[in-house]
Structure 1
Amino acid sequence: MITTSIVTKIIFLCGAGFLAAFVDSIAGGGGLISLPAFLAAGVSPHLALGTNKFCSSSGSFTSALKFVKSKKTNSDLLKYLVPFTLIGAAVGVNTVLKVNESFLYSIVLILILFVGIYTVFSKSIGAENNFKGLTKLNLTLGILLAFSLGFYDGFFGPGTGSFLIFGLIKIFGFDFVQAAGNGKILNFASNIASLVLFAIHGQIDYMIGFPVAIAMILGARLGTTLAITKGSKLIKPIFVTMSLAVAGKLIIQNFL
């Protein structure tokens, strides 16, 4: 029986999910909104992680598909990077318990602060698409980026979307739109490994998950449309905001 409290919880989570997917489709970092919302609604931690992954994967798939249809992705590049992202995510999920998280938090905090601050002061970063084609060097660096961030997303996750966008801009010379499009596909690929494991272990609440997933699909569609039409002028400030928000979350969670 569906009670009034459950309906209220689902409405709250749908609103948070819509906003999270909207932001995530533009610059990453949507998990900063959606995961705390699940926990605030009283969902247990493991179910919150699994259900959030189920919902966010729906949104990221929608966003990735729209970027592909708008020709803001590079299939020649992605055919090399996606397999390494999947492998990295699978390895990450299976080694999560072997890593000292406190050490990892410090490393991630420093890196995400660097990404945010560097982007604030670099007026040219991501403003124009300066991609000149694939070379052995940039493809090798891209594969390392894909594997590393797939691994990272598999067992930890905060800031993955931001790191992907920044890395793709610096390695391949993409503008923010192209970087967001290619990054969203890689991010979706890394989500799949985690999602499958959560599903296998029964850590997804589908009664909550399905309506929130629909809300995230709608948020992702709107966010991706704005990202494609408004370009770097929209993505850069949101990208910086979400990068610094991830850093703030890590500081509060681990040092205060």
Structure 2
Amino acid sequence: MLTVVLLCVMGFIAALVDSIAGGGGLISVPALMMTNLPTHMVLGTNKFASTTASFTSSLKFAKSGKVNFKLLKFLIPFTFIGSATGVYVLKFIPADFLKSIVLVLVLLIGVYSLKSKTLGMEDNSCDVIEKKTLIIGMIFAFCLGFYDGFFGPGTGSFLIFGFIKIFKFDFTKASGNAKMLNFTSNVSALILFAIQGNINYLFGIPVAIFMILGARVGTKLAIDKGPKFIKPIFAVMSIAVFIKLIFPLISSLF
């Protein structure tokens, strides 16, 4: 019971943070690893719980008018296909080769967001999106879906940053649309985890309940407080992902 209570508390915090700026897996995955479940069961159980949270967060963002469905109807299919492809390719290629590339990118995103005073602070998006921009967005959606299915860390940060840079959203709208794409890639991966029997529902169901609560609180904070509240959390979580990825590499040298 003590283990379940601890997992629920960490799940609540993870979902709260993730619904605001991404990176919740940095909290929930290590917590689940303390149960001594096999790694594939940890990842599957985390995907089960986090998918319920991302659905809750997506729904709340959508109800608040922070989601552009006219745009997402083009992006979601590419994200779904990309995620399924990433999970499939993972069987043949080790994910470790991506780490060095991701390390550089996620650090640059974190530092850039801290240094840029204007990044994501205003919504400069247009109702009519140019064809070139839409094509770039679809390629971006496929690549991030593939990355989430193949490797995963930092997906939320990359999605938010992409929506800001490509479509000129502010942090609040970027978070809402990013959460919808993140939910799509989560569903795709979750189906495969479930088929393979890699979900521990004894831990997954109670953690999912508390993640739903955390997602509701986090999303409300993001909507009410706006870009000024989201931006510093986004930067911190981006740098936290960098630290999480580089720590094993440094440890292996000593």
TM-score range, shorter chain: over 0.9
Kept after mapping to 1: 8 A contact 2:124/2:168? yes
- The equivalent of 2:125 in structure 1 is 131
Distance across 2 between alignment mates of 1:49 and 1:102: 16
> Could you tell me which of 83, 86, 95 is aligned with 1:89?
83
- The equivalent of 2:229 in structure 1 is 234
Query: TM (normalized to structure 2)?
Result: 0.97
Pairwise CA RMSD:
0.9
- The equivalent of 1:3 in structure 2 is none
Distance across 2 between alignment mates of 1:56 and 1:231: 23
The correspondence of residues 208-219 of structure 1 with structure 2, limited to 5 A, is 208-219=203-214
- The equivalent of 1:47 in structure 2 is 41
1:255 and 2:250 are equivalent in the alignment: yes
> Could you tell me which of 10, 31, 34 is aligned with 2:25?
31
Q: Deviations over 1:82-104 (max 9, x none)?
A: 00000000100000133343321
Q: Deviations over 1:133-179 (max 9, x none)?
A: 31111101110110000000001100000000000000000000000
Query: TM (normalized to structure 1)?
Result: 0.96
> Could you tell me which of 3, 8, 15 is aligned with 2:2?
8
Distance across 1 between alignment mates of 2:59 and 2:248: 34
Q: Deviations over 1:29-67 (max 9, x none)?
A: 000000000002322211111100000000000000000
- The equivalent of 1:202 in structure 2 is 197
Distance across 2 between alignment mates of 1:216 and 1:43: 20
Bigger Cα displacement from structure 2, 121-130 vs 134-143: 134-143
- The equivalent of 2:170 in structure 1 is 175
- The equivalent of 1:74 in structure 2 is 68
Distance across 2 between alignment mates of 1:162 and 1:25: 11
- The equivalent of 1:62 in structure 2 is 56
1:246 and 2:241 are equivalent in the alignment: yes
Q: Deviations over 1:179-204 (max 9, x none)?
A: 00000000000001110111111111
Distance across 1 between alignment mates of 2:36 and 2:93: 28
- The equivalent of 1:22 in structure 2 is 16
Distance across 2 between alignment mates of 1:205 and 1:101: 23
- The equivalent of 1:163 in structure 2 is 158
Residue type of the partner of 2:191? V
Residue type of the partner of 1:113? L
Stretches (4+) displaced over 6 A: none
Structure 1: which 5+ runs fail to align? 1-6
Residue type of the partner of 1:37? A
Distance across 1 between alignment mates of 2:99 and 2:250: 10
Distance across 2 between alignment mates of 1:115 and 1:137: 23
Distance across 2 between alignment mates of 1:164 and 1:109: 16
Q: Deviations over 1:65-85 (max 9, x none)?
A: 000000001010000000000
Distance across 1 between alignment mates of 2:59 and 2:249: 36
Q: How many residues align?
A: 250
1:117 aligned counterpart, secondary structure: helix
Kept after mapping to 1: 8 A contact 2:80/2:188? yes
Residue type of the partner of 2:211? M
2:122 aligned counterpart, secondary structure: coil
1:97 aligned counterpart, secondary structure: coil
- Tell me the percent identity: 58
- The structural deviation recorded for 1:18 is 0.1
- The structural deviation recorded for 1:255 is 3.1
